[in-house]
Amino acid sequence: MLSSSVGKSSLMETTRRPDIVFVSGQGSWLTDSNGKKYLDFSQGWAVNCLGHSPEIVARAVADQARRLINPGPAFFNEPVINLADLLVSKSCFGKVFFANSGAEANEGAIKLARKWGSKHKSGAYEIVTFVNAFHGRTLATMSASGKAEWEKLFEPKVAGFPKAKLNDISSVEAEITDKTVAVMLEPIQGEAGVIPAEKEFLQDLRELASDKGILLIFDEIQTGIGRTGHLFAYEEWGIEPDIATLGKGLGGGFPISALCAREEYCCFEHGDQGGTYNGNPLAASASLAVLKRVTERGFLQDVRAKGEYLFQALEKIADRIGSVRGRGLLAAIVLKNPLAGDIVADCLKSGLIINAPKSNVIRLSPSLEVTRSEIDLMAEVLLGASKNINSSAMYMD
Ligand SMILES: *Cc1c(COP(=O)(O)O)cnc(C)c1O
**CA quadruple 109, 113, 115, 117: dihedral, nearest 10:** -170
Q: What is the atom index within ligand 1 of the atom nearest the CA of 186?
A: 13
Q: How far is the CA of 221 from the centre of ligand 1 (A)?
A: 6
**How far from 335 is each of 43, 131, 138, 324, CA to CA, in Å?**
22, 21, 31, 9
Give me the pLDDT at residue 7, please. 61
**Could you report how far apart the first and last alpha carbons of the chain are, in Å?**
44
Q: How far is the CA of 45 from the centre of ligand 1 (A)?
A: 9
Q: Is the CB of 224 under 6 A from ligand 1?
A: no
Give me the pLDDT at residue 144, please. 98
Distance between CA atoms of residues 332 and 299, nearest Å: 22
- Which residue's CA is minimally distant from atom 6 of ligand 1? 102
- Residue to mutate (ligand 1; options 43, 104, 135; most atoms within 8 A of CB): 135
340 three-class SS: helix
User: Residue 47, Cβ neighbours under 10 Å: how many?
Assistant: 21
Q: What is the DSSP string of 227-252?
A: TTSSSSGGGGGT---SEEEE-GGGGT
Q: Is the CB of 110 under 6 A from ligand 1?
A: no
Does 397 qualify as catalytic in the annotation? no
Lowest-confidence segment of 6-10, 17-21, 146-150, 354-358 by average pLDDT: 6-10
Q: What is the atom index within ligand 1 of the atom nearest the CA of 189?
A: 13
Does 248 qualify as catalytic in the annotation? yes
Confidence of residue 109 (pLDDT cuts 50, 70, 90): very high
Selecting among 93, 98, 130, 134, the annotated active-site residue is 134
Confidence of residue 220 (pLDDT cuts 50, 70, 90): very high
Selecting among 130, 161, 219, 358, the annotated active-site residue is 219
Q: What's the pLDDT tens digit per position in 57-101?
A: 999 999 999 999 999 999 999 999 999 999 999 999 999 999 999
Chain centroid offset of residue 340 CA:
20
Does 134 qualify as catalytic in the annotation? yes
Q: What's the pLDDT tens digit per position in 232-256?
A: 999 999 999 999 999 999 999 999 9
Strand order in the sheet with 257-261: 95-99, 257-261, 243-246, 215-219, 180-185, 126-130, 163-164
Selecting among 115, 121, 248, 306, the annotated active-site residue is 248
Average pLDDT, the chain: 95
Q: What is the atom index within ligand 1 of the atom nearest the CA of 45?
A: 1
Q: How far is the CA of 220 from the centre of ligand 1 (A)?
A: 9
Q: How far is the CA of 247 from the centre of ligand 1 (A)?
A: 7
Q: Is the CB of 222 under 6 A from ligand 1?
A: yes
Distance between CA atoms of residues 21 and 15, nearest Å: 15
**How far from 344 is each of 102, 172, 195, CA to CA, in Å?**
25, 35, 20
Give me the pLDDT at residue 6, please. 67
pTM exceeds 0.75, yes or no: yes
